[in-house]
Amino acid sequence: MKTTIGRWLVPVFGGLAFIFLLVPVAYVFAFSFNDAGRTNLSWRGFTLENWLNPCGAPAVCEALGNSLQIGAIATVLATALGTAIAIGLVRYRFRLNATANMLIFLPLATPEVVLGASLLAQFLNIGAELGLGTIIIAHTMFCISFVVVTVKARVASLDPKLEEAASDLYASPLQAFWRVTFPLLLPGIVAAALLAFAMSFDDFIITNFNSGNVTTFPKFIYVSATRGIPAQANVIGSAMFIIALAIVIGGQILSHRRARTLAAR
């Protein structure tokens, strides 16, 4: 009897936890089809209108455009800077190693309010005007740590002998990097870039401190929460969900295939 309970307890409890995790996602998706008008608080009937006209609510697509632009630039900057740091930290030994590690780890261990508030204090003290530029700087800053952590794991699992073999075959260090190391690191770099974009796209707290009058997508939702969020925001949120899911599943399939072709060789 006791063992039967024990055997079922974990799957049942775990299953409930999965439902808890996914209920709000399903809710957001369902209410993207609500014939809501402006407020989208209660169910008023099914419609495709919101999906056919995602920019129908005022300012929602402007906010989305800002978020995409910020996300793209911050991702490129953070991925470039972070990948270089990750390679430098794993492959080379020098005195600042521990300091650099600390510098990457600390932002991850600091709450977002503090990161946002300190950048704001800095911008206020130097008299910088808050806007797209300051948001991009803020996002690049917190994304670098995520990129370094993600790429570092990949660099550490790489055999340095591959690069040595390339240089034994008279490849210059640059050739060895671009022909051997970089292609092997690419999956890790792509994963890091996707993570950075997702973190940037969804960030609210740090953005709110450093955005001035510029509205991003999360800020738009937060500000309109008091009057009711237009159903178009649910459409954009659901569309992002589907795109992200497709990317993750596609990535899984791709890496499976790659592993299989490598094994077949």
Query: Of residues 133-192, which lie at the interface with another protein (CB under 8 A)?
Result: 137-138, 140-141, 144, 148, 159-161, 173
Does 211 interact with another protein (rule: CB under 8 A)? no
Rounded Cα distance between 79 and 187, Å, is 13
Which residues have a Cβ under 8 Å from the Cβ of 57 and sit 6 or more positions away?
A: 38, 230, 231, 232, 233
Least distance from another protein to the Cβ atom of residue 219, Å? 9
In this structure, the number of other CB atoms found within 10 A of the CB of residue 219 comes to 19
Rounded Cα distance between 73 and 76, Å, is 5
Does 241 interact with another protein (rule: CB under 8 A)? yes
Q: Of residues 105, 169, 250, 259, which one binds another protein by CB under 8 A? A: 105
**Candidate segments 50-58, 185-193, 204-212, 257-265, binder of another protein by CB under 8 A:** 204-212
Q: Of residues 165, 249, 254, 259, which one binds another protein by CB under 8 A? A: 249
Which residues have a Cβ under 8 Å from the Cβ of 197 and sit 6 or more positions away?
A: 71, 72, 74, 75
Q: Map residues 58-87 to x or -, x wherever contact with another protein holds by CB under 8 A.
A: -----------------------xx-xx-x
Least distance from another protein to the Cβ atom of residue 182, Å? 13
Question: For residues 53 and 97, which CB has a smaller minimum distance to another protein in the complex?
Answer: 97
What's the one-letter identity of residue 61? Answer: C
Least distance from another protein to the Cβ atom of residue 130, Å? 11
- Alpha helices per DSSP H over the chain: 2-30, 49-52, 60-91, 97-108, 112-126, 132-156, 160-168, 173-176, 182-202, 205-210, 217-224, 231-264
Residues 9-68 binding another protein (CB under 8 A) are 9-11, 13-15, 17-18, 20-25, 27-28, 31, 41-42
Least distance from another protein to the Cβ atom of residue 13, Å? 5
Residues 216-235 binding another protein (CB under 8 A) are 217-218, 221-222, 225, 229, 233-234
**Candidate segments 2-10, 48-56, 68-76, 182-190, binder of another protein by CB under 8 A:** 2-10
Least distance from another protein to the Cβ atom of residue 124, Å? 7
- The 3-state secondary structure of 23-39 reads HHHHHHHHHHHECCCCC
Which tokens belong to 66? 């800002």
Which residues have a Cβ under 8 Å from the Cβ of 175 and sit 6 or more positions away?
A: 166
Q: Among 70, 90, 62, 40, which residue's Cα sits nearest to residue 200? A: 70
Q: Among 244, 204, 26, 209, which residue's Cα sits nearest to residue 114? A: 209
**Candidate segments 45-53, 54-62, 116-124, 178-186, binder of another protein by CB under 8 A:** 116-124
Q: Of residues 61, 72, 73, 100, which one binds another protein by CB under 8 A? A: 100
Least distance from another protein to the Cβ atom of residue 171, Å? 15
Least distance from another protein to the Cβ atom of residue 192, Å? 13
